[in-house]
Amino acid sequence: AMSTKAAISLFARRGSLVGGLLVSALLASPGAARAQSFDLMEATIAGVHEAFDAGTLTCRELVQRYLDRIEAYDDVGPGLNAIQHVNPRALAKADSLDRAREAQGRQGKLHCVPVLLKDQVETRDMPTTYGSAIFEGFVSHRDATIVRRLRAAGAIILAKTTMGEFAQRYVGSAYGIIRNAYATDRNPSGSSGGTASGIAANLGLVGIGEDTGGSVRGPAAVSNLVGLRPSLPLVSRFGMMPANPSQDTMGPMTRTVEDAALVLEVIAGYDPEDPITAWSVGHVPESYRTDMDPDGLRGLRVGVWPRRESAPEGFEEEFAQAEAVFDRALDQLRILGAEVVEPIEMELPEGGALSNVFETEQATDEYLAGLEDPPVGSLREILLTGAVVPWRQASLLPYLGHTTEDAGYLAHQTYRSALQVNALKAMADHAVVALVYITFDAPPMPIAEDVLTNPSPDDQYGLGDNRGWSPATGFPALTVPGGFTPEGLPIGLEFLGRPFSEALLLGMSYAFEQASGHRRPAPTAPALAPR
């Protein structure tokens, strides 16, 4: 039974919708039993649309079943803590889409696709909290460009998801701790951990995450999902709180490669509100599904990124488990006809390193200045509240007092430009179309007991992290389910390509996905019994 505290928390976070869910259970529509015949677990966009067309499912029935799963598995059950705000208008929007489909047919590529959206992204009709209690109840009254495009394609923003506070890690003062859907004592990576746990547990059909240093691909990898970090200029960031604008982007987090491609088709392209997207003009294909062929890896040369020479002391077994999964995945690539080149050699630029502490304060302050009546007006004010969880408070402090006018910023950008050239040169020298590696050289580690209170928790967060190459270069990277450790923990296989090579990466990942079949539902959130 739900405790009084849990019941109060659930009502506070989701408002009157909880009452609506209880009423809907008592006043189930005549189609409820029919809707239960549709297998919601691991549902895809294509499968949902086929059910709509066949008359075996309505948009309302689909949305209600996801709401039921959120109620069953997020605050109670395994307590995944993936959902920050449920959209109180989700069922009303579903009804309007049902009426529109009956009158005019499906309303876009994402007709009635329930989306779990990272709460770093503004929505005009729901709070946007950035994982922080400082922004509790804050509504910006505008939609981010990505939200406008999703809605125009027929999607429903079903819920906003929990996120690492101000876009790092997997804890926040707004909600507590996000838990991994495959093992709730393990971290879900960050900072898009709520989206990942939610999609992995089938609490929504597709998700959107944000990736500055790996926040789409890390959570996707440890949640057995597909996660795409697109080329930096491909997707508009307007309406999203920035971290480092020269690295920030957003991308889909899905259970299948095809669904990731469909979402990308909707969100990609030029937006005058985010001028960097002008670089994408001429690089956005009509479809990102043209290279999706089960035989799509045949004849392609793929380079293996240099492996670590050794594991950190005390973690040899975890690294060996992950490497065994990687070796099996490489064997699968060879079986599928890819030519696997190992190792790829790449020279690191001389005379510097990446150290971007220069953009965050300036970008945050400018973003807050563009909001309507935010609770704070600067990064410094955020930290002065004392409300931020200790780890994030400590990690944000070094950004104060730096700007892009600092001499060190030129050195950072110079090194980054040289790294881009060297990466392209390595790919050209070895005649490979993409690089492959595992997202993490170790499975997700246990959550520390003091992760909410200790500024330096001993949780080995990000152990074996390989995510940095994509944000360092701005090149696209995609993680796809690569297999499991003996304990059943997911390992992600990641492909990195040249700028605007998303269709190629999706095609390669699709071929691997179809042959390997590593995607499977999270054991903590099984199918619900019909009611």
The pairs formed by 91-95 with CB atoms below 8 angstroms and a separation of 24 or more are: 91/20, 91/24, 91/60, 91/63, 91/64, 91/67, 93/63, 93/156, 94/58, 94/59, 94/60, 94/62, 94/63, 94/64, 94/156, 95/59, 95/60
Active site residue 215: yes
Please pick, among 215, 236, 501, 509, the residue that the annotation labels catalytic: 215
Cα distance between residue 215 and residue 228, in whole Å: 10
Rg (the chain; Cα; Å): 22
Active site residue 5: no
Q: How many CB atoms lie within 10 A of CB 98?
A: 18
Q: Residues, the chain, total?
A: 531
What are residue 56's phi and psi, to 5 degrees?
Answer: -100, 0
Peptide bond into 343 cis (omega under 30): yes
Angle at 465 between CA 460 and CA 466, to 5 degrees: 175
Instruction: Say how many CA atoms lie within 13 Å of 393 toward its Cβ.
Output: 18
Beta-bridge partner residues of 83: 161
| CB of 502 closer than 8 Å to CB of 516 | no
What are residue 491's phi and psi, to 5 degrees?
Answer: -125, 130
Beta-bridge partner residues of 207: 116, 253
Torsion of CA 449, 451, 453, 454, to 10 degrees: 100
Token pair listed for 261: 């491609």
Give the residue among 143, 169, 167, 170 at the shortest CA–CA distance from 157: 143
Active site residue 118: yes
Torsion of CA 40, 195, 328, 261, to 10 degrees: 70
Please pick, among 132, 140, 189, 191, the residue that the annotation labels catalytic: 191
Task: Look up residue 241 and give its DSSP letter.
Answer: -
| Residues belonging to the active site | 118, 191, 215
